[in-house]
Amino acid sequence: MSVTAAQGFTAAGIAAGIKENGNPDLALVVNNGPRRAAAGVFTSNRVKAAPVLWSEQVLKGGTVGAVVLNSGGANACTGPQGFQDTHATAEKAAEVLKGHSAGEIAVASTGLIGLLLPMDKLLPGIEKAAGELSPYGGEKAAIAIKTTDTVHKTAVRQGEGWTVGGMAKGAGMLAPGLATMLVVLTTDADVDSPALDRALREATRTTFDRVDSDGCMSTNDTVLLLASGASGTVPEEAAFAEAVRAVCDDLARQLIGDAEGASKDIRIEVVGAATEDDAVEVGRSIARNNLLKCAIHGEDPNWGRVLSAIGTTKAVFEPDRLNVAINDVWVCRAGSVGEDRDLVDMRFREVRITADLSAGSASAVIWANDLTADYVHENSAYSS
Amino acid sequence: MSVTAAQGFTAAGIAAGIKENGNPDLALVVNNGPRRAAAGVFTSNRVKAAPVLWSEQVLKGGTVGAVVLNSGGANACTGPQGFQDTHATAEKAAEVLKGHSAGEIAVASTGLIGLLLPMDKLLPGIEKAAGELSPYGGEKAAIAIKTTDTVHKTAVRQGEGWTVGGMAKGAGMLAPGLATMLVVLTTDADVDSPALDRALREATRTTFDRVDSDGCMSTNDTVLLLASGASGTVPEEAAFAEAVRAVCDDLARQLIGDAEGASKDIRIEVVGAATEDDAVEVGRSIARNNLLKCAIHGEDPNWGRVLSAIGTTKAVFEPDRLNVAINDVWVCRAGSVGEDRDLVDMRFREVRITADLSAGSASAVIWANDLTADYVHENSAYSS
């Protein structure tokens, strides 16, 4: 049910002709109220796409009436014309939706960088999508934002009298701060925008921000949380925050499971860290080590590459106190050879690496993918 | 002529049986004086191999009489036994070489992490190598330190009455601080160890430290510079430093040209930076962007991926003032679409990326490689 699982929302997903292959490429999500509270988190890349620059401004007001999302073009590195196109997109949506103003319409785009969007396709597409808005349109919207995703991603959690649902896309350029992605979450809980903001930031910090498929940070990452208040229920803050976190976690796991060219999903858990920051730094360093990612692809429990990745960090640890397990076999103990590496069974898609720094009690989990010839192929040929 | 181009040095390279395939795997370089001055630079990885820990101590004395190098095993993450093995290696060399003490013998190892060396092969190998020492042995020594290198690497520069020569190995795990490698440089110039140290540090800073094949930092990187004084000539310091730099630059370029699985050598020049540190940070970020490395492999001048890599840095720049050229075609101007990307000819092995930050006058060059299916294959299967 995606973004329409919660009451008060309608959505649509259509083929506007932005993608040359005719696949769906335009999604519209509308908050029908009574509330239109919203929060957003955006890429920390300093080269930001036009829709990110636009939507950051929109979100400062804490109110979002609708979101226009397109695949088939990122509208990034497109200069003043790109920004004018995003502005025109919001104006067009405000015009066709009635009762909405452009300044409260968020825009998100995904696809190739450095190309202007075909506005002659996109603007009529918004009108068409508006005509197809439905309280059952969430799946179609989730399908329309796919790029190289092989499946669309949705998740829902129920609270007591309220719901949080959402959709996500993301397949390449997955990396922290945030994984490349467009995500729209909706809820019918009666929550104001500051509370939405707190819940969303805490949720993304430990979910999307800890997905590191290929170390590449996008120019377009956007995560939005919209509240309609249509359930009439004011949730308990902790329960609401947990539901938002659970939906984000579910979607983040789906992103890793569908990353470009990947054959393995790698769950890296760093334990025994002096601080959570140390655990995250070490987890990211392991997640980004190309040699290790190749080894995991080859089902080779090459713990030496884990240690060499840990060694590049500033985290607190002593080399001769490091322990590493791969799929629960402690192949490295005290910085040296541990249990027999032949005991490690790596046939399954999920691979678990545990790195114990023996320096404290903090921990963190980072998700990554292996590095494969398919990834190389898909990303050598993507723009051609 | 490698490490024996300079007077006062003998070397040997033999097959000791450390590698199961019978290829040469043990090199010995001896400084016959009259001076035995030396300087060394080692990996900044905090997980250091036993020979690195040993040789760092040896170099603190500023005197090195001989270097024992082996391929076929890195002796990294091998615990106390690994360190004892390195110590025994130095003791054995001191014993067979006469007139040398173990505390002045440097040891370097390369190969798989996490395996103990076969000392029953290595120690007799040292005796055998000592018997083959020759003032013409430099090439054989360079061959014996190869791992996945397809060719051995040597370089020589002549000064007025003196010579600097060297050998290097390195193919995977090439990344700054240092590129993975073993390098031994020799000179017959009459230079003391503090001056050697200054020349070597400045040379590696702008050569080996700016090679970033795959973003992975080794546990074993070692660069040594030995001076025999046999020419009887005290060189002018600047001329000597430049010769050392030129030999390092030559060897570094050879390392990139022979990196595992690479089909392109990428020269990334960052110009218009506010500081040299900014230029290096931006260059490294571009060098490590897997999506860009795939695009270059596919001969796709995907400048959007260059901008997204720049955007992840803390360097001084404004997104709308960034310019990017690929093979001298300015495909991105003012952060947006520039010249026609179809003008970029990427058929040749060397690809030049120029990133202009428009923020100052500092610059730096980083060398990298593309990301290929061959790299994935070679590093999925390396340990099996």
Out of B115, B336, B372, closest to residue A78 by CB: B336
User: Given CB atoms, is B377 within the 8 Å cutoff of chain A?
Assistant: yes
What's residue A177's pLDDT?
A: 38
**Neighbour tally for A374: CB within 10 Å:** 16
Q: What is the mean pLDDT of each run of 10 residues along chain B (384 residues)?
A: 94 96 96 96 89 96 97 92 98 96 96 92 98 97 91 94 94 46 94 97 91 76 95 97 96 87 93 97 92 92 92 93 97 94 95 98 94 84 50
Residue B267 to residue B264: CA distance in whole angstroms: 10
List, for residues A200-231, the tens digit of each pLDDT value.
999 999 898 888 766 667 888 899 999 999 99
Please state which CATH number belongs to domain B2-257. 3.60.70.12
Check whether A155 has a pLDDT greater than 90.
Answer: yes
The domain spans of chain B are: 2-257, 265-381
Amino acid residing at B241: A
Chain B 132-171, CB below 8 Å of chain A: which residues? none
B305: nearest CA partner in chain A: A113
Report yes or no: A174 at the B interface, CB cutoff 8 Å. Answer: no
pLDDT tens digits for range B16-57: 999 999 999 999 999 999 999 999 999 888 889 999 999 999
CB atoms within 10 A of CB A228: 24
- Listed as own residue / partner, the contacts of B118-123 with beta carbons closer than 8 Å and 24 or more positions apart are B118/B17, B118/B18, B118/B73, B119/B85, B119/B88, B119/B89, B121/B16, B121/B17, B121/B18, B122/B16, B122/B18, B122/B26, B122/B70, B122/B85, B122/B89, B123/B88, B123/B89, B123/B92
Kindly report the nearest CA distance between residue B326 and chain A, in angstroms.
15
The residue count for chain B:
384
Same fold for the pair A2-257 and A265-381:
no
Confidence at residue B361, expressed as pLDDT on a 0 to 100 scale: 98
A165, β-bridge pairs: A156, A186
Fold topology of B265-381: Ubiquitin-like (UB roll) (3.10.20)
Question: From the candidates B10, B43, B180, B219, which is the catalytic residue?
Answer: B180
Per-residue confidence (pLDDT) for residue B138, from 0 to 100: 96
Whether residue A176 has pLDDT greater than 50: no
Tokens of A211: 């997905």
> Does B338 lie at the interface with A, CB-CB under 8 angstroms?
no
Q: Is the pLDDT of residue A264 over 80?
A: yes
Taking only residues 114 to 133 of chain B, the set having a beta carbon closer than 8 angstroms to any beta carbon of chain A reads 114-116
Rounded distance between C-alpha atoms, residue A344 and residue A330, angstroms: 9
User: Quick one: pLDDT at residue B172?
Assistant: 52
The DSSP call for residue B134 is B
- pLDDT for position A44: 84
Tokens of B278: 């900014």
pLDDT for B229 equals 97
Token pair recorded at residue B32: 């016959």
A342-370 pLDDT, tens per residue? 999 999 999 999 999 999 999 999 999 99
